[in-house]
Protein backbone atom coordinates (compact mmCIF):
# COMPACT_ATOMS: atom_id res chain seq x y z
CA UNK A 1 0.00 0.00 0.00
CA UNK A 2 1.29 3.45 -0.84
CA UNK A 3 0.22 6.47 1.18
CA UNK A 4 1.09 9.71 -0.64
CA UNK A 5 2.93 10.64 -3.81
CA UNK A 6 6.29 8.81 -4.10
CA UNK A 7 7.75 11.75 -6.04
CA UNK A 8 6.96 14.03 -3.10
CA UNK A 9 6.70 12.00 0.10
CA UNK A 10 5.08 8.61 0.56
CA UNK A 11 4.99 5.76 3.00
CA UNK A 12 5.16 2.35 1.36
CA UNK A 13 3.94 -0.38 3.69
CA UNK A 14 2.95 -3.88 2.79
CA UNK A 15 2.27 -6.94 4.84
CA UNK A 16 4.16 -10.05 3.78
CA UNK A 17 2.31 -13.21 4.83
CA UNK A 18 5.29 -15.60 4.37
CA UNK A 19 7.26 -13.49 6.88
CA UNK A 20 4.45 -13.60 9.45
CA UNK A 21 3.30 -16.14 12.00
CA UNK A 22 0.79 -16.34 14.87
CA UNK A 23 2.88 -13.98 16.98
CA UNK A 24 4.36 -11.47 14.54
CA UNK A 25 2.78 -9.76 11.54
CA UNK A 26 5.73 -8.72 9.41
CA UNK A 27 6.15 -6.78 6.23
CA UNK A 28 8.03 -3.94 4.56
CA UNK A 29 8.01 -0.27 5.48
CA UNK A 30 9.75 2.34 3.36
CA UNK A 31 9.73 6.09 2.85
CA UNK A 32 9.83 7.53 -0.64
CA UNK A 33 11.18 11.08 -0.65
CA UNK A 34 11.48 12.83 -3.98
CA UNK A 35 11.43 9.43 -5.70
CA UNK A 36 14.24 8.02 -3.54
CA UNK A 37 13.54 4.98 -1.36
CA UNK A 38 14.64 4.79 2.31
CA UNK A 39 16.11 2.54 3.46
CA UNK A 40 17.69 1.41 0.22
CA UNK A 41 17.46 -2.28 1.12
CA UNK A 42 14.50 -4.33 2.33
CA UNK A 43 14.26 -5.25 5.97
CA UNK A 44 11.72 -7.42 7.74
CA UNK A 45 9.79 -5.15 10.09
CA UNK A 46 7.00 -5.73 12.55
CA UNK A 47 4.26 -4.19 10.45
CA UNK A 48 2.18 -2.79 13.29
CA UNK A 49 4.95 -0.91 15.11
CA UNK A 50 5.97 1.39 12.25
CA UNK A 51 2.43 2.04 11.07
CA UNK A 52 1.23 3.02 14.53
CA UNK A 53 4.39 5.07 15.06
CA UNK A 54 3.93 7.15 11.93
CA UNK A 55 0.19 7.55 12.53
CA UNK A 56 0.93 9.32 15.83
CA UNK A 57 3.31 11.88 14.28
CA UNK A 58 0.83 13.87 12.21
CA UNK A 59 -0.31 16.63 14.50
CA UNK A 60 3.01 17.72 16.02
CA UNK A 61 4.00 21.36 15.49
CA UNK A 62 7.49 21.46 13.99
CA UNK A 63 7.69 25.21 13.41
CA UNK A 64 11.10 26.85 13.02
CA UNK A 65 12.11 30.42 12.21
CA UNK A 66 12.32 31.22 8.50
CA UNK A 67 16.09 31.82 8.67
CA UNK A 68 16.53 28.30 10.08
CA UNK A 69 14.23 26.88 7.40
CA UNK A 70 16.36 28.47 4.68
CA UNK A 71 19.77 27.37 6.00
CA UNK A 72 21.85 24.91 3.94
CA UNK A 73 20.55 21.34 4.09
CA UNK A 74 23.61 19.86 5.78
CA UNK A 75 23.63 22.55 8.48
CA UNK A 76 19.96 21.95 9.29
CA UNK A 77 20.41 18.16 9.26
CA UNK A 78 23.37 18.37 11.66
CA UNK A 79 21.49 20.70 14.01
CA UNK A 80 18.38 18.49 14.04
CA UNK A 81 20.48 15.37 14.55
CA UNK A 82 22.13 16.93 17.59
CA UNK A 83 18.71 17.88 19.01
CA UNK A 84 17.47 14.31 18.60
CA UNK A 85 20.73 12.67 19.69
CA UNK A 86 22.72 15.08 21.88
CA UNK A 87 26.31 14.11 22.70
CA UNK A 88 26.50 11.56 25.50
CA UNK A 89 28.59 13.83 27.67
CA UNK A 90 26.05 16.67 27.50
CA UNK A 91 23.28 17.16 30.03
CA UNK A 92 20.67 17.50 27.28
CA UNK A 93 17.80 15.09 26.85
CA UNK A 94 16.87 13.62 23.50
CA UNK A 95 14.24 15.73 21.74
CA UNK A 96 12.50 13.83 18.95
CA UNK A 97 10.12 16.65 17.98
CA UNK A 98 11.51 16.94 14.45
CA UNK A 99 12.35 13.26 13.88
CA UNK A 100 9.91 11.38 11.65
CA UNK A 101 11.97 8.21 11.22
CA UNK A 102 10.19 5.17 12.58
CA UNK A 103 12.02 2.48 14.55
CA UNK A 104 12.85 0.41 11.47
CA UNK A 105 14.21 3.44 9.63
CA UNK A 106 16.37 4.35 12.63
CA UNK A 107 17.61 0.75 12.76
CA UNK A 108 18.65 1.15 9.11
CA UNK A 109 20.58 4.35 10.04
CA UNK A 110 18.07 6.62 8.28
CA UNK A 111 17.42 9.81 10.19
CA UNK A 112 14.62 11.80 8.62
CA UNK A 113 13.40 15.10 10.00
CA UNK A 114 10.51 17.46 9.32
CA UNK A 115 10.50 21.22 9.89
CA UNK A 116 7.84 23.79 9.07
CA UNK A 117 7.83 27.51 8.37
CA UNK A 118 4.98 29.59 7.00
CA UNK A 119 3.11 27.75 4.25
CA UNK A 120 5.80 25.11 3.73
CA UNK A 121 7.41 22.12 5.35
CA UNK A 122 10.72 20.51 4.58
CA UNK A 123 11.74 16.88 4.93
CA UNK A 124 15.48 16.58 5.51
CA UNK A 125 17.05 13.15 5.28
CA UNK A 126 20.31 11.27 5.57
CA UNK A 127 21.10 7.56 5.71
CA UNK A 128 24.33 5.85 6.58
CA UNK A 129 27.07 5.90 9.14
CA UNK A 130 29.85 8.04 7.68
CA UNK A 131 30.41 10.12 4.58
CA UNK A 132 26.76 9.97 3.62
CA UNK A 133 24.95 12.73 1.79
CA UNK A 134 21.84 14.52 2.97
CA UNK A 135 18.92 15.80 0.99
CA UNK A 136 15.67 17.66 1.33
CA UNK A 137 12.33 18.20 -0.29
CA UNK A 138 10.02 21.17 0.27
CA UNK A 139 6.29 20.46 0.42
CA UNK A 140 3.16 22.40 1.12
CA UNK A 141 2.54 22.61 4.85
CA UNK A 142 0.33 19.81 6.14
CA UNK A 143 1.35 17.24 3.53
CA UNK A 144 3.09 14.99 6.06
CA UNK A 145 0.19 15.26 8.53
CA UNK A 146 -2.23 14.24 5.79
CA UNK A 147 -0.22 11.07 5.11
CA UNK A 148 0.13 10.26 8.83
CA UNK A 149 -3.61 10.73 9.32
CA UNK A 150 -4.40 8.48 6.31
CA UNK A 151 -2.30 5.76 7.93
CA UNK A 152 -4.17 6.31 11.21
CA UNK A 153 -7.46 5.70 9.39
CA UNK A 154 -6.05 2.61 7.65
CA UNK A 155 -4.91 0.94 10.89
CA UNK A 156 -8.51 1.19 12.12
CA UNK A 157 -9.91 -0.31 8.90
CA UNK A 158 -11.39 -3.78 8.47
CA UNK A 159 -8.63 -4.78 6.02
CA UNK A 160 -5.90 -3.99 8.53
CA UNK A 161 -7.72 -5.41 11.53
CA UNK A 162 -8.51 -8.68 9.72
CA UNK A 163 -4.84 -9.12 8.82
CA UNK A 164 -3.81 -8.41 12.39
CA UNK A 165 -6.21 -10.97 13.88
CA UNK A 166 -5.61 -13.65 11.22
CA UNK A 167 -4.31 -16.96 12.51
CA UNK A 168 -1.69 -18.85 10.46
94-150 tens-digit pLDDT: 899 999 999 999 999 999 999 999 999 999 999 876 667 899 999 999 999 999 999
- The three-class DSSP label of residue 71 is coil
What residues does 87 pair with on adjacent strands? Answer: none
- Integer Cα distance of 116 and 87 in angstroms: 25
Summarize pLDDT for 56-100 with one digit per residue, the tens.
998 888 999 999 999 999 999 999 999 999 988 888 888 999 999
Among 160, 144, 161, smallest CA distance to 102 is for 144
Domain residue limits, the chain: 2-165
- Integer Cα distance of 5 and 161 in angstroms: 25
Amino acid sequence: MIFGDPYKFAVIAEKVDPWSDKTFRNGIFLFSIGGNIFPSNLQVITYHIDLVGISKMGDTNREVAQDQFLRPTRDVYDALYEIAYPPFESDLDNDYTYLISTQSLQDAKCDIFLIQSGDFEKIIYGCGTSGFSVGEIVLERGYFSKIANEIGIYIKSEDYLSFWSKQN
